[in-house]
Structure 1
């Protein structure tokens, strides 16, 4: 690999923000973009939807395409409630295992599945594990998607995660204009992890409210649109 951006891993967050800060999705607004990965999951996602309803809050859900059609009612409900739906890939395969052409097909297939079901546009893409090659950046643009990672995460997939640990992890790097990564399912996380993420999310929502921060999806985050129309 010749390009310094050939592999950008979630495990090197400070390097990612220094080399390609736009990937973190940081904006200049007093706003927090709340995002969830790996759904939809009928066993857990509805609990997050109910929590967000209580707080009158909307979020961006990065969906795995293979779970969209089997849980069509849940996906429609997310869209009907004003949440933003985005692409996390067809499955949770690391992008380094796919070539660019195959990845373009994967992303277009996932986006089309969501759009055909909800009738709404899909704008955003986040790769599984936060591992990103330049071929994946090109593939996303060819698929008409904008790639965004995050600036703060809860590490809520870990077996040792607790609500307090999740909150502390997010607080460590979150600033106004940041993007928060959490998970609304334990499909690719420690069993039962979402049951710790749920109360952590409520604690975070309360703190952000007290701090005067607006919370919402990426579409409200003040990021410039730099993608082209997707062709199928």
Structure 2
């Protein structure tokens, strides 16, 4: 485990996911959560209270493993993070490091209609729970990561091509499970993204990324204008060190 600023990088080749019950809330905590969620929706009407797999705990499993405890919740539970003494219910997400054949990585800028407008990050997104009664495992996370890669940059990368790479934990408790994709020619990555944008806008939808860049880590971070997700700099530095 290493710390980079406020983000922990957890090098754990084994991950076990365990479903738990959603945290019980007092009337006061539920009211505060609902009020904060309604304020967030008024500020960004594009937000929706869809299902999520919320992180309820993280612990070590021997020297090389992690146990991620999760519960079936909805997006409004994220509002608990600002409620004093409320039960912990953090975000669980997947991300993909997609390199080009010359060693650069794809980063995308979140569109205005998303929950984090203008923010630069790796392709990825919040984990959704499986069907009721089904288990969530690493293969499920891998499939979700491949779907996010397709939806955000137009990649046709199959899930089985993604390798479990790294886990991050932010200062707010949010955990990201990261996968590494095989290298792809930079020109092909840009062309696929351009086709995705044409398709999405032609059908009246706004792409999740309004722009992508291929940057050489970590120096290319200076080329990004605007906010960045907290894990981006330490993860890109880790990638550069591992590739050296």
Q: Could you say which TM-score interval applies, normalised by the shorter chain?
A: under 0.3
Q: Normalising by structure 2, report the TM-score.
A: 0.26
Relative contact order (alpha carbons < 8 A, sep ≥ 6): 1 or 2 greater? 1
Larger fraction in helix = 1
Which has the larger Rg?
Answer: 2
Larger fraction in strand = 2
